[in-house]
Structure 1
Amino acid sequence: MHLLRILPAALLLAACGDVPRAGGPVRVGAEAPSYAAETLDGERSSLSQMHGKPVLLNVWATWCHPCRQEVPALEALHRAYGPRGLQVIGVSIDQGDQEQGIREFMQEYNASYPVWLDPDGEVTAVFSTVGVPNTFLIGPDGQVLWKHVGPVKADDAELRRLIETSLPAAS
Structure 2
Amino acid sequence: MKKIFFLMSLFLLAAGAARAQKMVIGSRIPDFKGVQWLTTMPEGAGSEHSRPMIIEFYQPSNASSARFFPKLETIWQTYASEDDGLQIVVLVAQDRSCAEQLHQKYNDRYFIGIDPDGQVYRAFNVQFLPYTLVVSSRGEVYWQGNLGNLSDEVLRKVK
> What TM-score do the two structures reach when normalised by structure 1?
0.67
Root-mean-square deviation (Å): 3.1
Deviation at 1:29, TM superposition (A): 1.7
> 1:81–1:46: structure 2 CA closer, same or farther, 3 Å change rule?
closer
Residue 69, structure 1, aligned to residue 61, structure 2: no
Deviation at 1:107, TM superposition (A): 5.4
> What TM-score do the two structures reach when normalised by structure 2?
0.71
Identical-pair percentage: 19
**Runs of 4 or more off by more than 6 Å in structure 1?**
108-111
Residue 144, structure 1, aligned to residue 141, structure 2: yes
SS at 1:48 equivalent: coil
> 1:35–1:23: structure 2 CA closer, same or farther, 3 Å change rule?
farther
Correspondence for 1:38: 36
User: How many angstroms apart in 1 are the aligned matches of 2:102 and 2:44?
Assistant: 27
Counting only pairs closer than 5 Å after superposition, residues 2-21 of structure 1 correspond to structure 2 as none
Deviation at 1:64, TM superposition (A): 1.4
User: How many angstroms apart in 2 are the aligned matches of 1:166 and 1:113?
Assistant: 18
Deviation at 1:92, TM superposition (A): 0.2
Correspondence for 1:94: 94
Deviation at 1:105, TM superposition (A): 4.9
Deviation at 1:139, TM superposition (A): 0.3
* Structure 2: runs of 5 or more not aligned: 1-15
* Structure 1: runs of 5 or more not aligned: 1-18
Equivalent of 1:159 in 128, 151, 157: 151
User: How many angstroms apart in 2 are the aligned matches of 1:63 and 1:111?
Assistant: 23
Residue 128, structure 1, aligned to residue 125, structure 2: yes
SS at 2:70 equivalent: helix
Deviation at 1:115, TM superposition (A): 1.0
